[in-house]
């Protein structure tokens, strides 16, 4: 348990742990910063502390971690729990609203994935400006170099460097705790921030300007969503031990220490974190902060990889190439295309904004929007699946939603100052997912469904059997009982059938993984037909040859041999109507482009390329 808690420090708390680098300075030195008077300092630090307690300790660590999908957390896990309740009160059209909401929240996380490495590494290297102002112009080039190196090592897999993640973040937490306590001892008056009424007084004294300061307060919560999403890697208990045992005390001490510094020297508001560090420790702290932010960036990059894979498995986005970087841990994956796209986007953001303060406005709206959507999905889950009474939902989740919406409203005021960036990234990602969902529905309508029941088809073949050839023919079949169109085309044009015909249906479940004992169901039919239903979780990649070998054991007959098994797939050429609704035409054309460029089904299913036969057809999407 201790080792798991140490590992959780590195993977789960990277973003939360490095937020003291930039969060408090944004409250006083940002676009909507307030004057660092003693009353304001105590009030803002109080808001930081109680936000950590309410939104992380209570909301994420205690409440949301109880809403897990077989140990997995995050937006898509919540969605799977919510929509997967087939017999609940949630109608299909209403469920679609939650799907779109979850997609948008996930899309905002992609904006988070681009901004986090940029703001984290920038804020760490800005300590150079405090130590040696003459070197300030090296901050941006060094940030770009570190980011390029970070993305360049992704093909190696996070597991190869993961053993260092926990100790690095552990050392970081001990360091910020120590410097915070030293500053706190020097000015203990900051302990008044422990009284939440000082946070209330801050709003009363500053009015609307104080409300805008919430845009900086939310920055101390960065990483809360990742904490919930990474629950499946370690389990709830190690994360709770690491949070309450080290992460929360260290963050509280750091913010209290920075607040104590500002009580002594309000002029340090531009760089309160590094101004709190003694001169002899500045350069070592810059190095440690850089390492910590690299770890934080790595954790979010890995989360984006996992998120993209989950979305593809759930049918919310096109299939993508996935490389497994560990033979023992299924969750350690690498997505080449996504990696280089993230690198290009992150470097572009660094060159565009050039400072952590400028990026803070963009960062806050991504974090707050995702947090609010998570709370909305949890409210729906509590009502539909958990059957909570209305009073309980209002008391617990209602408070979370009110705070989340306040954070969203405050950050919305910074739209022109950079808040447009994550919204643009999120909107583009949402458009891709929307076009994919709409396009898949149109594709299902356009496909020629035979409508011939399987049992009637087999009976007709028994009366007038075609010529049979040696070997096994495998045809993909939908979840219904209609004969696959590919099989009908093959029989029509080739006028032969294999001695064994396998009709294979692959289902992606709402659960992350499926037990091996429940992997497949085999039904042996007449005249050599076999119906196989294979089940995979949304975190698993299908492997059809392995599935057929497992089915052979259960069927008591060989269903897969390397040189005598052929796989028949449909190759569809898609076209869209040139007239009609402009918006739908745009979505259809985007879908067709995505469909043509998604991962090949042969690779996705693990099929041997030299045993695949493709039958082409043209489909009109309307």
Predicted confidence (pLDDT) per residue in 296-329, tens digit: 787 778 778 877 887 887 778 888 887 766 555 5
Q: What is the pLDDT of residue 82?
A: 81
**Above 60 in pLDDT, residue 50?**
yes
pLDDT at residue 12 greater than cutoff 60: yes
CB count within 10 Å of CB 610 equals 8
Q: What is the mean pLDDT of residues 60-89?
A: 73
Domain architecture of the chain: domains with CATH:
2-142+149-154+172-438 (1.20.1740), 454-621 (no CATH)
pLDDT for residue 161 is more than 70: no
Proportion of the chain above pLDDT 70, given as a percent: 93
Q: For the ranges 386-400, 439-453, 543-557, which has the lowest average pLDDT?
A: 439-453
pLDDT band at 225 (very low <50, low <70, confident <90, very high): confident
- DSSP tag of 195: S
pLDDT of residue 87: 31
Rounding to the nearest 10 degrees, give the CA dihedral for residues 93, 96, 101, 106. Answer: 180
pLDDT average, residue stretch 61-79: 81
> What angle, 0 to 180 degrees and rounded to 10, lies between the N-to-C axes of helices 397-412 and 356-384?
150
Question: What Cα–Cα distance (Å) separates residue 310 from each residue in 217, 279, 440, 478, 509?
Answer: 31, 46, 17, 21, 11
Q: Where are the beta strands (DSSP E) in 164-278?
A: none
Report how far residue 489's alpha carbon sits from residue 615's, in angstroms, rounded to the nearest whole number: 8
Would you say residue 85 has pLDDT above 50? no
Q: Which residue has the higher pLDDT, 286 or 153?
A: 286
Give me the percent of the chain exceeding a pLDDT of 90.
34
Report which of residues 295 and 18 the model is more confident about: 18
Q: How far is CA 561 from the centre of its chain?
A: 39
- What integer is the mean pLDDT of 237-251? 91
pLDDT for 440: 84
Residue 414, CA atoms < 13 Å, CB-side half-sphere: 31
Retrieve residue 22's tokens.
């930039």
> Is pLDDT of 91 > 60?
no
Q: Following CA atoms 161, 167, 173, 179 in sequence, which dihedral angle do they give, to the nearest 10 degrees?
A: -110
pLDDT score at 326: 59
The answer to whether the CB of 435 falls within 8 A of the CB of 464 is no
CA atoms within 13 Å, Cβ hemisphere of 270: 6
Name the maximum alpha-carbon separation found in the chain.
95
- DSSP H or E segment with residue 122: helix 92-125
CB 123 within 8 A of CB 356: yes
Q: What mean pLDDT do residues 59-84 have?
A: 81
Mind listing the pLDDT tens digit for each residue in 458-472?
999 988 889 999 999
Cα–Cα distance, 7 to 166 (Å, whole number): 5
**Lowest model confidence (mean pLDDT) among 455-469, 523-537, 547-561, 570-584:** 570-584
Average pLDDT, the chain: 85
Confidence at residue 325, expressed as pLDDT on a 0 to 100 scale: 67
Most confident of 134-143, 197-206, 232-241, 407-416: 197-206
Q: pLDDT for 168-204, tens place per residue?
A: 889 999 999 999 999 999 999 999 999 999 999 999 9
- Over residues 550-561, the pLDDT tens digits come to 999 988 888 888
Task: Quote the Cα angle for 459-465-467, to 5°.
Answer: 145
Those residues with Cβ within 8 angstroms of residue 191's Cβ, 6 or more apart along the chain or in another chain: 184, 256
Please give the C-alpha separations between residue 76 and each of 25, 307, 311, 361, 509, in angstroms, as whole numbers: 33, 8, 8, 26, 13
Structure tokens at 372: 């609010």
Beta bridge partner(s), residue 615? 570
286: which 2 tokens?
């810059």
Report the predicted TM-score, pTM, of the whole model to 2 decimal places. 0.78
User: Which residue reads 């992606």 in tokens?
Assistant: 508
Residue 41 has pLDDT above 90, yes or no: yes
* Residue linked to tokens 């009109």: 620
CB 298 within 8 A of CB 147: no
What does the alpha-carbon distance between residue 622 and residue 619 come to, in Å, rounded to a whole number? 10
The predicted model gives 256-273 an average pLDDT of 93
- How many helices (H) and strands (E) would you count in the chain? 28, 8
Residue of 10 and 177 predicted with greater confidence: 177
CA distances 97 to 64, 86, 92, 385, 529, Å, are 21, 15, 9, 16, 41
């Amino acid at each position: 348990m201790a080792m798991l808690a140490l590992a959780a420090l590195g993977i789960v708390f990277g973003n939360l742990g490095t937020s003291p680098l930039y969060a408090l300075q944004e409250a006083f030195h940002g676009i909507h910063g307030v004057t660092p008077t003693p009353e304001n300092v105590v009030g803002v630090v109080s808001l930081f502390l109680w936000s950590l307690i309410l939104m992380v300790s209570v909301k994420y660590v205690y409440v949301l971690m109880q809403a897990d999908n077989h140990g997995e957390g995050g937006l898509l896990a919540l969605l799977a729990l919510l929509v997967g309740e087939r017999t609940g009160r949630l109608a299909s059209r209403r469920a679609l609203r939650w799907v779109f909401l979850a997609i948008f929240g996930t899309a905002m996380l992609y904006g988070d994935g681009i901004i986090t490495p940029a703001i984290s590494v920038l804020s760490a290297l800005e300590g150079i400006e405090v130590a040696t102002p003459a070197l300030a112009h090296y901050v941006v080039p060094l940030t770009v170099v570190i980011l390029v190196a970070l993305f360049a090592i992704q093909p190696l897999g996070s597991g190869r460097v993961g053993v260092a993640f926990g100790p690095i973040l552990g050392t970081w937490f001990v360091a910020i705790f120590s410097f915070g306590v030293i500053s706190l001892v020097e000015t203990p008056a900051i302990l008044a921030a422990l009284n939440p009424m000082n946070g209330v007084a801050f709003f009363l004294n500053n009015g609307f300007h104080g409300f805008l300061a919430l845009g900086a307060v939310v920055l101390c919560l960065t990483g809360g969503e990742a904490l919930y999403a990474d629950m499946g890697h370690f389990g709830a208990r190690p994360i709770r031990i690491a949070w309450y045992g080290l992460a929360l005390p260290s963050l509280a001490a750091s913010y209290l220490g920075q607040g104590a510094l500002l009580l002594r020297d309000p002029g340090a508001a531009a760089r309160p974190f590094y101004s709190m560090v003694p001169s002899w420790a500045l350069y070592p702290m810059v190095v440690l902060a850089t390492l910590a932010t690299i770890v934080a960036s790595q954790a979010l990059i890995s989360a984006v990889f996992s998120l993209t894979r989950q979305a593809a498995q759930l049918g919310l986005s096109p299939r993508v190439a996935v490389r497994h970087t560990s033979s023992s841990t299924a969750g350690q994956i690498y997505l080449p295309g996504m990696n280089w796209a993230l690198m290009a986007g992150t470097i572009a953001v660094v060159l565009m904004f050039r400072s952590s303060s400028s990026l803070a406005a963009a960062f806050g709206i991504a974090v707050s929007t995702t947090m609010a959507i998570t709370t909305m999905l949890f409210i729906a889950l509590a009502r539909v699946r958990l059957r909570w009474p209305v009073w309980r939902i209002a008391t617990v989740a209602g408070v979370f939603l009110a705070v989340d919406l306040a954070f969203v409203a405050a950050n919305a005021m910074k739209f022109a100052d950079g808040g447009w960036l994550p919204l643009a990234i999120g909107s583009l990602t949402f458009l891709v997912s929307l076009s994919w969902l709409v396009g898949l529905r149109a594709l299902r309508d356009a496909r020629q469904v035979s409508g011939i029941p399987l049992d009637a088809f087999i009976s007709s073949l028994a009366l007038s059997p075609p010529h049979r050839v040696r070997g096994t023919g495998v045809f993909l079949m939908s979840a219904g009982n209609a004969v696959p169109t590919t099989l009908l085309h093959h029989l029509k044009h080739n006028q032969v059938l294999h001695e064994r015909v396998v009709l294979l249906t692959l289902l992606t479940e709402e659960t992350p993984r499926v037990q091996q004992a429940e992997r497949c169901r085999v039904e042996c039919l007449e005249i050599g037909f076999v119906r196989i239903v294979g089940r995979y979780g949304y975190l698993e990649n299908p492997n059809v040859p392995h599935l057929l070998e497992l089915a052979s054991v259960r069927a008591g007959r060989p269903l897969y041999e390397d040189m005598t098994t052929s796989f028949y797939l449909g190759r569809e050429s898609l076209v869209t109507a040139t007239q009609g609704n402009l918006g739908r035409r745009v979505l259809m054309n985007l879908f067709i482009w995505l469909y043509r460029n998604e991962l090949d089904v042969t690779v996705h299913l693990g099929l041997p390329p030299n045993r695949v036969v493709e039958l082409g057809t043209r489909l009109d999407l309307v």
